[in-house]
Structure 1
């Protein structure tokens, strides 16, 4: 039986995984991808002014709140997602939005918060799939639940395997990507890599997004396990297959920096920032310039990392603050 500590760690990890998952495409998805947030907010407000329960507008509103990153607005996002479900009970994306918001709330609130919301998160994704079997992002989120949560709250690899079998009925490609996630969870890096790379997602944007996320997870896991050659291969594939995504470039920068190749890492981080700026990318750029002895550029990068929203996680945030004090004091 898992100890209380192990259980807490598992639910916190699941909440973190859920936070990384995005919803199915909707009317405002293209504008959100283009980071035209003010335009989205204006369009959503106009739509809700004439149709207060429009599902696409309500879902987009929850996403804008998550992107803003203010913990104080998460309860508002929960209410919006619940309104979406109440008014559109058969809309798969409304249920998925609630799962995403609760996952974020659980992660931000810590372990006890994760324990409080974990059942609701699971049920939201299960309902989303029930209403739309082709909602692959909800399937990916439910898969993470089964892999990370202990059995006594409904998790476990047996349920993960059942989900794979069920998913294959609707999409062999989606099922293969879920299998790659299971292989990764079991530290079978070679099979996870080969399975994920072999999936043809050319005719499905939703599946392509799923593949991109799985490959990124594999690359970071390889990096964390010091399998740098394999990690570079995965991130290089990500850069080639998804040149409009920051994931591959950020990952390549990270794996190079982990090997002490700060000079080679910086262009990859900068490329990732051009595509999609993030606090993590600026933090890594700061570490790279610090390693190269350029205090001015390191300070600038750390300051940008600390001012960026959504903000850094607690550990890198604390480190960035410490490094900034040391750099300014030296």
Structure 2
């Protein structure tokens, strides 16, 4: 679930002012600054839904998937009528399934579908919930509740709310059916609807999946150029560039992200690891180690940072 995983990936808006008032200002500041362990320590004793959802996002930002699930389950239990919390829980279930074996992944599919559907039921006009549920329907087999017909219904529902997301979902349906001509046309229609960083990342991801690496790199570069606010699309574009052996193109974007004040939970630890990987791939071993150390300063138990640092 690339879109869903990307959709969790981490620079999300924090709760509204009334909710934020229940969370210590220091915990919010630490979350925005990427100080994962400090924010987690402050939030763990607070047993309200807003604190638990923020805790879930913090754990997700450093791939602590089981802890993220536990926190999101608590948030949904405490606020069962909140669409955003059900959506976040579905996403963390999906992230866990994507990084598990076949048996565990299949065992979680019903939980993923149930919570995506609940998020839409609770807020039928949520573009994020409709998009993620549509992606689930497009990618999952019918035996577990997926299906192209269900996904097409959501394409129609998304059209008046977000033409770009409607085209994006139509592209996913076509790509799943191996209709690459239609998929590419729909991704380009998504791009034409707003020339957003997300659209460039989606097109880059499509080309990468079709082994059209030059086009993937071109669109990942365009995503970095378009993401002037330095949000999660910068991280997604950087991952594509690093994976396709163009690490130097990712370095400046990652540094810009790290120098940008985030409105929500930042993924600074993750960005430091990505920058470390990019620098190491360019031959700058010393620079890479500094970045891994910076990630560990924010989240000492972050496995990706520990691995990068050789621990």
Q: TM-score, normalised by structure 2?
A: 0.70
1:197 has 2:183 as partner:
no
Which protein has greater RCO, CA pairs closer than 8 Å, 6+ apart? Answer: 2
- What CA distance in whole angstroms lies between the structure 1 residues aligned with 2:55 and 2:291? 30
- What CA distance in whole angstroms lies between the structure 2 residues aligned with 1:223 and 1:43? 39
SS in structure 2 of the partner of residue 103 of structure 1 = helix
Residue 192 of structure 1 contacts residue 218 of structure 1 at CA under 8 Å; is this kept in 2? no
RMSD between aligned alpha carbons? 4.2
- What CA distance in whole angstroms lies between the structure 2 residues aligned with 1:264 and 1:18? 25
Q: Superposed, which structure 2 residues align to 1:1-330 within 5 Å?
A: 14=1, 18-22=4-8, 26-27=15-16, 34-35=32-33, 56=50, 59-67=53-61, 69-71=63-65, 73=67, 74-85=69-80, 89=81, 91-107=82-98, 110-168=101-159, 170-185=161-176, 186=178, 187-188=180-181, 190-200=184-194, 212-223=197-208, 225-250=210-235, 253=238, 257=242, 262-275=247-260, 277-278=267-268, 281-304=271-294, 309=299, 311=302, 320=308, 324=310
SS in structure 1 of the partner of residue 77 of structure 2 = helix
Q: TM-score, normalised by structure 1?
A: 0.66
Deviation at 1:153, TM superposition (A): 0.4
Residue 27 of structure 1 contacts residue 56 of structure 1 at CA under 8 Å; is this kept in 2? no
- What CA distance in whole angstroms lies between the structure 2 residues aligned with 1:126 and 1:26? 22
Deviation at 1:312, TM superposition (A): 5.7
- What CA distance in whole angstroms lies between the structure 2 residues aligned with 1:215 and 1:58? 33
More helix by share: 1
For structure 1, list consecutive stretches of 5 or more residues without a partner in the other structure. Answer: 1-13, 202-210, 326-330
- What CA distance in whole angstroms lies between the structure 2 residues aligned with 1:290 and 1:172? 40
The structure-2 alpha-carbon separation of the partners of 1:213 and 1:56, relative to structure 1 and needing over 3 Å to count, comes to farther
- What CA distance in whole angstroms lies between the structure 2 residues aligned with 1:283 and 1:70? 15
Count the aligned residue pairs: 287
* Structure exhibiting the larger radius of gyration computed from Cα positions: 1
The structure-2 alpha-carbon separation of the partners of 1:134 and 1:42, relative to structure 1 and needing over 3 Å to count, comes to farther
